[in-house]
Structure formats: C-alpha cells, structure tokens
Amino acid sequence: MKVTEHLARAGRALISFEIIPPRRGGDIHSLLHVVDDIAQFHPPFIDITSHAAEVVYEETPSGIKRKVKRKRPGTLGICALIQNKYNIDAIPHVLCQGFTREETEDFLIELQYLEIENVLAIRGDDVNYEKPLTFGRTANRYALDLVRQIHDMNQGKYLEDNLLDARPSDFCIGVGAYPEKHFEAPNLNFDIQYLKQKVESGAEYIVTQMFFDNRVFFDFEAKCRQAGIDVPIIPGLKIITHKSQLTTIPSHFHVDIPAELTDEILAANEKNVLEIGVEWTLKQVEALLNRNIPAIHFYIMQKSGPIKKLMKHLKL
C-alpha cells in the first residue's frame, strides 16, 4: 500500500521507522532482530537507507591502496525481506549521489517486480567519489531531477525511447525536507520554494530531517502551507542516547540541539543520557500528537532499545 493511502485510511497518527543496512560483510540477523522489535508497534511502513560508493584507503602488504566500494550494500534485499516476511511496506531510499540515471531506472524496475510501491527520492550525502559517466550515461544532480525521473516512469516514460510494451510504474514518491533549512540553502524560504518544486514535479509526501525543538517544525510546516505545499508533512525524530551525539549530530545533520537539552545531558552521568533523551523525545511526540500531525518518523538506524523505552510511554 502507498504511504498516502496509509495516511488517508488511518484513524490516528501513524508511527514509522528508518533503519540502515549492515556494513559490508555484517550480520543481517542482527538487523532483523531490530525489525522484530519494532514490528510489534505495527508500523505501516519502514524506510531503508541507501548508500553510494565511496573511496577508501586500505593498508596492504604492498602499501596503501585506493579502493572504491559501497560500505553498506543490501537495501533492495532488506526491502524484500521486510515486505514479504513482515508484511510491512518497505520504502527504499533512492539516491542521486553515486548512481547514474540508468542504474536508477534499473533499480526502480527491480522494485516494481518486488511490488514495492513507495520510494524516498533524495540527493544523498556528499561522498569523496564521483562516478565517471561513460558510454553516454547520465546522472541526476539534485533530488528534483530524481523526482522528475521517477514521475516520468510513472507516466510510462523511460530513458530509452520507443520501448515496446513500456509499462508505467506506480510509485508513491516521498522527499526529504529540512525544518532548519538545508545547509547549502541561503535561507529557509529559498529552501521551501525548492521543496515546492519537488511537490509540483510529483512528490506526494514529505519526511523531515530530525529536529529537537518542535517550534522549528511548526514554523516550517506553517511556511510550507503558506507557500502552497499541501502534501502530508511527516516530522522526523531521533532519541539522543550518548553525550557524544551533542557534537556528532549537529556536525553530520546540521541541526541545532536546544540549550536546555544540552545542559541537562552535560550535567548528567553518561548512563543517564538515554533516559534524558527518551523523556525529551516523549515530550516532543506528545506535543506533535496534540497538533494532529499525520505520522511520526523515528530515525533508529540499528538500535531498537531506545525506541522500545519510548513506546512504553505512548498509548497509540
């Protein structure tokens, strides 16, 4: 079922999760244990991140060698497992960064064969490797370009013209958004206008980057509506579990952590940080539910313990 259909049929706010594939050579069973844990909360859909190739330097007996590889392959296989084993709709992330448009089309065709109906179209993180475009291949530079490619496939328009029996795809397209603006955007209003272009080009719902101050989200949502964006906007949340995240989260995701939360975590023992993080997120969730938001999306990656603690306090 499509995300938009889940939202339209729901009688209450929905809960969804985002997980990350294991590192290359890692144990898929540990990730499936996480899915076992979160499946008990009946999420209608689960996002699975994708990762592009990057350059790594490895020390070998003959010296340091440069290699290009994907550290976390497996998005497609994990989607198939979740959708067929757990009967939960899987939402793969489809990237611009590190993939050609031709590879993207192939990936989307494989998703069709698996009867996966939802995708999240994002540019992806900048990596230290840019795939060479050879033999006439092309690339999507921005998420907007990717949305247009997927929308074209939904209209039966493939990269190769005049395909016999070209069958339109039927993907529900989601996109990401940044309540505190994308770090490359000059200001929030500019970023929202770019987001509006994605919606006008075929995006049917929005999932936000994590935030720790609900006022940021409410202001962002109001500006989106004023700009004419009328698709569902799903807020994304993350539970802080370690003191180190006070620096790693802002560094990686370009978000602010409120002084009140920062001060409380810094004053606490490390073993108490998880409880502080759970309590803070619980307050965020309760305030969001009071505003009748359609769903809440939790970034849990490969750990289910924190979300299980949080869900004990929620009556949904």
Per-residue pLDDT tens digits for 116-134 = 999 999 998 766 566 677 7
pLDDT at residue number 137: 87
Arithmetic mean of pLDDT, 295-299: 98
pTM of the entire structure? Answer: 0.93
Per-residue pLDDT tens digits for 174-222 = 999 999 999 999 999 999 999 999 999 999 999 999 999 999 999 999 9
Arithmetic mean of pLDDT, 99-108: 95
Arithmetic mean of pLDDT, 24-51: 93
Arithmetic mean of pLDDT, 80-103: 95
Closest CA to 90 of 110, 122, 120: 120
Look at domain 3-311 and name its CATH class: alpha beta
- Give Cβ neighbours of residue 182 (< 8 Å, ≥ 6 apart): 191, 254
Between the alpha carbon of residue 218 and those of residues 12, 33, 239, 283, the distances in Å are: 19, 34, 19, 15
